[in-house]
Amino acid sequence: METFVQVLIDGMLNGMVYALVAAGLCLIWGVMDVINFAHGEYLMVAMYVSYWLGFLLKVDPLLSVVAAGVFIFILGAVTYQLIIRYTIGRPGLVALLATFGLAVFLKNLCMNWFSPNFLILSDTWLGDKTLQLGNIIFPVPQLVAALLALVVIGLIYAMINTTRFGWAIQATALDRDAAELMGINTERIYLVIFGIGGACVGIAGGIMPSYLAVHPEVGSMFGLIAFVCVAMGGFGSIPGAFLAGLLVGSVEALAGFYIAPVFKYIAVFGLYLTVVFLRPKGIFGW
């Protein structure tokens, strides 16, 4: 039983980070109906930002989070200006393939500049610290990352539901033309949404070098898992994506521990298929 709880907690901590990565994607999907295939590569870039700040300037990932968030916000906005803007209103495949091109570009650029080697940041503040509560052990870096994820998701959810800007986002998501007629600059909303979506994954990527090695392929799996979380949660539903993130994290950890490590992703993708075959629009979808 204790082992089960321990494994479950490890999975949920991971799951919250998945949820944060997914929340960014979810926002973009919900408002713009675009799948950003380069989302995982944003995460990878953010990890490199945090890594190099730590390696060259001795900035701890805990502080680099801000820089990584801002950096990916800008990257997202630039992506929107240069690519996504031209794909709005076209079939969904267009944006997906264009961002796939971006993913290939970013991944290989990092490969070319930083080599395919695994880069590990040593001597971070959180390092290998653990926190023991009874018989349950919490790895501190994952715990902090999960809490950070929780806070950021909460802030985004609050922003969408309580601020004027959030209402403008909701209006744009519901009906772009109508929102435009109401005097909302939907072009700017899209730009900022892509930026915020990027910032979410930037923050997640910023903290990760505290406990994960950085390499050009690291983002791909996170990207796929984020797609799965968003689709499983249901079209643009942030609570849905959050719940799906926790579920995916738990299933991944349990399958990895109780079956075999190689089965963890098989279980995750199998879970996705099971959910959408039963509810074709996801858990919270309509």
Give residues in contact with other proteins (CB under 8 A): 29, 33, 35, 83, 86-87, 90-94, 96-98, 100-109, 111-113, 115-116, 224, 227-228, 231, 260, 262-263, 265-266, 269-270, 272-273, 276-277, 280-282
Task: Give backbone dihedrals phi and psi of 130, rounded to 5 degrees, phi first.
Answer: -130, 160
* Cα distance between residue 278 and residue 197, in whole Å: 28
- What is the nearest approach in angstroms of other proteins to the Cβ of residue 77? 16
Min dist CB 11 to other proteins, Å, is 18
Comparing CB distances to other proteins, the nearer of 83 and 199 is: 83
Q: Which is nearer to other proteins, 107 or 176 (CB)?
A: 107
**H-type helices in 163-217, by residue range?**
164-174, 176-181, 186-207
Based on CB atoms, which residue is closest to other proteins, 105 or 125?
105
Distance in Å, CB of 190 to other proteins, minimum: 15
Amino acid code (one letter) for 132: Q
Residues 6+ apart with CB under 8 A from 172: 31, 179, 184, 186, 189, 190
To the nearest whole angstrom, how small is the minimum distance from the Cβ of residue 186 to other proteins? Answer: 20
In angstroms, what is the minimal distance from the CB of 96 to other proteins?
A: 7
- Alpha-carbon distance 235 to 251, whole Å? 21
* 10 Cα distance to chain centroid: 18
Residue whose CB is less far from other proteins, 159 or 260: 260
